[in-house]
């Protein structure tokens, strides 16, 4: 947490990496979970832009239902923290295999991409790199 605070205090955007694995997501988002804590700290330290990368999707066999469940739960808790879920890109990824990091993956044909809406307008994309490219400069 200490290292996270140091870096976050100067950030314009945070990338929240959430593990999709059974039990991993639930542990992170629990009342005292690190995922919840990191989102709250980021917002409290002034980060107003957020990207959510849902990692380890390969371990769920690229389950669309699991992705939707995580997006729904995460949207609810980041909204309580202060972020607007409509301005957040949710990207299913496999960091280990590189899926949806730079190039879109054929492993999740159901995934049509992310769309977000901010004061600057709408933007959309499919990959984590697209989401990073869509960050609004301060």
Residue pLDDT, tens place only, 60-79: 999 999 999 999 999 999 99
Over 90: is that where the pLDDT of 111 sits?
yes
| CATH code linked to domain 2-133 | 3.40.50.300
Q: What percent of the chain has pLDDT over 70?
A: 94
DSSP letters, 25-50, are HHHHHSTT-HHHHHHHHHHHTT--EE
In terms of pTM, does the model score above 0.95?
Answer: no
Task: State the average pLDDT over residues 115-131.
Answer: 95
Task: State the average pLDDT over residues 11-26.
Answer: 94
Cα–Cα–Cα angle for 47, 56, 45, rounded to 5 degrees: 10
Q: What is the pLDDT of residue 6?
A: 66
The DSSP 8-state label assigned to residue 80 in this structure reads H
Over 90: is that where the pLDDT of 8 sits?
no
Q: What is the pLDDT of residue 10?
A: 73
Contacts by 107-110, CB closer than 8 A, 24 or more apart = 107/57, 107/58, 107/62, 108/57, 108/62, 108/64, 108/67, 110/64
């Amino acid at each position: 947490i200490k290292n996270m605070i140091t870096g976050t205090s100067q950030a314009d955007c945070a990338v929240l990496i959430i593990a999709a694995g059974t039990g991993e997501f639930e542990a992170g988002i629990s009342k005292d979970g690190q995922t919840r804590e990191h989102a709250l700290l980021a917002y409290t330290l002034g980060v107003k832009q957020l990207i959510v990368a849902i990692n380890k999707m390969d371990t769920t066999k690229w389950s669309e239902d699991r992705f939707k469940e995580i997006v729904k739960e995460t949207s609810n808790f980041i909204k309580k923290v202060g972020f607007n879920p409509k301005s957040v890109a949710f990207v299913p990824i496999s960091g280990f295999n590189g899926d949806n990091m730079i190039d879109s993956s054929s492993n999740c044909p159901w995934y049509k991409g992310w769309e977000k809406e901010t004061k600057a307008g709408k933007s959309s994309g499919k990959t984590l790199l697209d989401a990073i490219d869509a960050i609004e400069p301060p």
